[in-house]
Amino acid sequence: MAKAQKNRASKNPYISPNQLNLVGFESPFSQELDPNNRWVILAKKIPWDILVSTYQTQLRNGNLGADGINPRVAIGAIILKHVCNISDRETVLQIQENMYMQYFIGYNSFSKEAPFDPSLFVEFRKRLGIEQINMINEKILGLSHASTEALDTAEDNSEDDDNNTSSRVSSAIESDEPLQEITHHGKLITDATACPQDIAYPTDLNLLNDAREKSEELIDKLFNERLHPSKPRTYRKVARKNYLKVAQLKIKSKKQIHNGIKKQLGYLKRDIKSINRLLDSYDSIPLCAKDHKYLFVITTLYDQQQAMFKEGSHQVDHRIVSIHQPHVRPIVRGKTNAYVEFGAKINVSLMNGFAFLDDFSWDAFNEGTRLISTVKKYKRRFGYWPEEVLADKIYCNRANRAQLKLLGIKLRAKPLGRPRAVDVEHVRPGERNPIEGAFGQAKTAYGLNRVKARLAGTSESWIATIILTLNLIKLIGLGVYCQLLSMVTFSAEQWSELFRDFMDRPFLLPNFEQKCA
């Protein structure tokens, strides 16, 4: 069977959109395209130089090898994918067919060729991790207060002031003295959510069957007639029959499930022993890195399932719920429609309408342990502490309340203890709606409710890119990114004056998402 040929990606060099064009030498796109088209407007609003410079730092091939794909093509394709919430293959086809999308990713004229093979999306995501996306977010909004080493003298002075302020904060917390010199401005809204991974719903019986089938594949690869006298028995047909006998029942009793798991554990234990005996005949492990990882995952899964079977429980630390994506963990949410979700858990903070991915973890965590670190990140980005914090009930424990009080930050939450006789409205209904609306927009419109990336690193990039897409859409609605980009060296007082001016102006966010086809 002939191998499928992949189209070579275009390697046209990146040209900054800020470069001046001579009159009469414009590209065909700039002369013929509708300037009111949504992709034309979006292309002009995005600061491509910032995105491209961050992307190029991950290539590390400035002096060696051939030039890579145009960074604007790679970044623009990822943005198009999440804005339209389509697959990788569909994104490439849409770019190939749509001249406005080609203009968005930096083409000068229409091309009938595909920009690149859809499989390259994996490489793009590997180069844009959480750190890079957060750096882009901060640079786009002009909030990199003291995060880079290439700062000028004014920024170095502001960084020293930031360090002195942080030291005063830590000393005040240790000595229990209130702070009076720290400026406060703005509102911080924070919340956590789960990002479900695109995996089959895991049951103990199905997981053991998948592990057994994969172990049988490893036995077939390891068996060598010259090294082994006979091939180990696997009883794969009998094991498959016993699995289907239970799995195909519409209503399964506990006894039937118990017996089915017991049989699959026995088959899997036999296969693991056979694999170890086959490996003893080799001087080194003959498996590739992928198969070696599968062997480790299968062995760990068997130990976990065997321990739960003996104890009669359904809980174990770092439980594996997919042999193909062993990094995924169950996240107990307690919601009616989804009591347990399987994926990553993120902590997002909303600052002046823009979202930042503060924490990312494949294991479940208590949100209360992340509040103070989120407040400190607000201080690092803006140069001052938030005036008030809005958070869910789980964030508002006694330790967090005490530290926020020492920092002079108002916590908008229901107080602890017995309620008063007269009702006092501490938090109005709907004040935390912006963060919930951001989660809803990201999950329903941009694909956060079903992360289809299979690797841990690419899944992180998938989630972080959706947060970046939210900010880009917000940035287009405000239409002030040019002013924000000039604020990198501003002090906290200048920031306060500018944001007070922005708060007094009514901004209307255009209904950009509804236009997306």
pLDDT in tens, 281-325: 998 989 999 999 999 999 999 999 999 999 999 889 999 999 999
Kindly calculate the radius of gyration of the chain based on its CA atoms and give it in whole angstroms.
27
The answer to whether residues 465 and 349 belong to one domain is yes
> Is residue 317 included in any domain, yes or no?
no
The answer to whether residues 246 and 188 belong to one domain is no
Task: Identify the CA nearest to 123 among candidates 456, 458, 452.
Answer: 458
**Parent domain of 242:** 204-311
pLDDT-derived band at 365, boundaries 50, 70, 90:
very high
Residue 53 has pLDDT above 50, yes or no: yes
pLDDT-derived band at 44, boundaries 50, 70, 90:
confident
What is the percentage of the chain residues whose pLDDT exceeds 70?
Answer: 75
The answer to whether residues 213 and 336 belong to one domain is no
CA dihedral of residues 284, 287, 290, 296 (deg, nearest 10) = -70
Residue 346 main-chain phi, psi, to 5 deg: -125, 150
Query: Could you give the CA distance from residue 512 to residue 446 in angstroms, rounded to a whole number?
Result: 13
The answer to whether residues 364 and 499 belong to one domain is yes
Average pLDDT over residues 354-367: 92
**What pTM did the predictor assign?**
0.78
DSSP string, 329-348: -EEE---SS-SEEEEEEEEE
> Which residues 6+ apart lie within 8 Å of 338 measured at CB?
196
The answer to whether residues 274 and 360 belong to one domain is no
pLDDT-derived band at 249, boundaries 50, 70, 90:
very high
Average pLDDT over residues 129-155: 59
pLDDT in tens, 370-408: 999 999 999 888 888 999 999 988 998 999 999 999 998
Per the CB < 8 A criterion, the answer to whether 197 and 460 are in contact is no
pLDDT in tens, 406-429: 998 998 888 887 777 656 556 676
The answer to whether residues 450 and 373 belong to one domain is yes
The answer to whether residues 162 and 91 belong to one domain is no
Residue 219 has pLDDT above 50, yes or no: yes
pLDDT in tens, 64-98: 666 678 889 999 999 999 988 899 999 999 999 99
DSSP, res 427 = S
> Is residue 319 included in any domain, yes or no?
no
Residue 256 is predicted with a pLDDT of 95
The answer to whether residues 272 and 179 belong to one domain is no
Number of domain units in the chain: 3
**CATH code for position 467:** 3.30.420.10
The answer to whether residues 354 and 496 belong to one domain is yes
Average pLDDT over residues 329-341: 83
Q: Where does a domain end: 73, 100, 128?
A: 128
Average pLDDT over residues 185-193: 91
Average pLDDT over residues 208-218: 96
Residue 326 is predicted with a pLDDT of 95
Residue 489 has pLDDT above 80, yes or no: no
Query: Could you give the CA distance from residue 88 to residue 486 in angstroms, rounded to a whole number?
Result: 35
Q: Where does a domain end: 83, 111, 128?
A: 128
The answer to whether residues 441 and 384 belong to one domain is yes
> Is residue 15 included in any domain, yes or no?
no
Window from 145-149, 237-241, 448-452 with minimum mean pLDDT: 145-149
Residue 517 has pLDDT above 50, yes or no: no
Average pLDDT over residues 125-133: 85
Query: Could you give the CA distance from residue 324 to residue 309 in angstroms, rounded to a whole number?
Result: 22
Residue 6 has pLDDT above 60, yes or no: no
